[in-house]
Amino acid sequence: MDITKKELETFCQGIQTLKAEKKEKADEIKARIEALACSKELTKKSISKFIKEWEEAQKNKEDYVLVDFESDALLLIAMPELNSSVEES
């Protein structure tokens, strides 16, 4: 192996810096989600789910629509009580 202690220390310090920056960004994202949820009377989970789905739809709208349709259909099969269009007997 051809690596020095100094190179490893520099490498590790760089990784630590990146992890700290990543945590700061994650905290900023969390704060923005919380602020929107509070101001619009929404749940943080709803906003987080929306963001995730919005990002997926941005990648490929046609695939997103198909996957969303199929996953909703599967969920209604697994949990028919979620289907609001079914009349209760």
Q: Which residues contact 67 (CB under 8 A, 6 or more apart)?
A: 56
pLDDT digits (tens, 9 = 90+) for 36-84: 999 999 999 999 999 999 999 999 999 999 999 999 999 999 999 998 8
Distance CA 58, CA 75 (A): 23
pLDDT digits (tens, 9 = 90+) for 2-37: 999 999 999 999 999 999 999 999 999 999 999 999
Q: What is the model's pLDDT at position 87?
A: 57
Structure tokens at 80: 């028919």
Please say whether the beta carbons of 44 and 37 come within 8 A.
yes
Q: What is the model's pLDDT at position 10?
A: 98
Q: What is the pTM of this model?
A: 0.75
Sign of the torsion angle spanned by Cα atoms 31, 34, 71, 55: negative
